[in-house]
Amino acid sequence: MERIRTLADRLIGLSAAIGATALIGIVVVILIDVIGRALGSPLYGSQDITTMASVILVFAPMALCDRLGGHISVDLLERYFPDAVNRGIDIFVAFLGAVIFGWLALATWDSAQLSLMLNLSTNLLYLQKAYFQWAAIGFMSLASLGLALRALELLLTGRDVRTETRS
């Protein structure tokens, strides 16, 4: 279990780093476009690049978001619940999240097949949408696996990685 956690954490860190790179990339592309426009030659297809990069930026950090306990929840009644109930809720939430991200990945897979069949692409640079959908599927699957692993850890060993030092 420990080795799987180490591997999962490395993948989660890598995917978040990809997301951060996409964000900095978006800043650079838009700046080049704005400066270029002021000089009379805007960056051709900049919106195609930024919108597709934003798909990476949105889904890449999903796994880290859960790892850090970043999802917003209403913890109004937490202190009134017994520890066992809180632990049960944590396990349920992690499984539910795993199912949601897994289903999202499956649904996006079908959608990607359709995009490929219809040759859907961006308007100017003709970037194939299916490639970015596949990337999103990868990140969604990683988020699903991360949540499933957390649920198993909570169930089998009682370990909650979110309470440990943030990586």
Partner 1 sequence: MTGSVAGILGILVLFALLLLRVPVAFSMFAVGFVGIWGLNGLNSATSLLASEAFTLASSPELIVIPLFILMGNVASHTGMSRQLFDAAYAVIGSIRGGLASATVIGCGGFAALSGSSVASALTMGKVALAEMDRFKYDDRLSTGVVAAGGTLGILIPPSTGFVIYAILTEQSIGRLFLAGVLPGLLLLSMFVLAVSILCMIRPDFGPPGPKTAFMEKIRAIGRAGPIVLVIFITIGGMYGGFFSPVEAAAVGAGAVILIGAITRRLKPAMLWDAAKDSVVTTATVMLILIAAHMINPFLALSHMTELVAQGFAALDMGPMGSLLLILLIYIILGCFLEGFAMLVLTLPIFFPIVLELGIDPIWFGVLVVLALEMGLISPPVGLNVFIVKSVAPGVSLGRIFTGVILFWVMMLATLAILVAFPQISLFLPNTMFN
Q: Does 71 bind partner 1 (CB under 8 A)?
A: yes
Picking from 43, 25, 27, the residue whose alpha carbon sits closest to that of residue 35 is 43
| Main-chain phi, psi angles of 40, to 5 degrees | 95, 5
Measured from the Cβ of residue 56, the count of other Cβ atoms closer than 10 Å reads 22
Kindly tell me which residue out of 11, 36, 45, 51 binds partner 1, with binding defined by CB under 8 A: 51
Q: Does 91 bind partner 1 (CB under 8 A)?
A: no
> Token pair of 149, please?
């692993």
Picking from 54, 49, 53, the residue whose alpha carbon sits closest to that of residue 126 is 49
Residues 113-132, interacting with partner 1 (CB under 8 A): 129, 132
Q: In angstroms, give the least distance from the CB of 41 to partner 1.
A: 16
Segment contacting partner 1 (CB under 8 A): 1-9, 71-79, 156-164?
Answer: 71-79
Q: In angstroms, give the least distance from the CB of 125 to partner 1.
A: 14
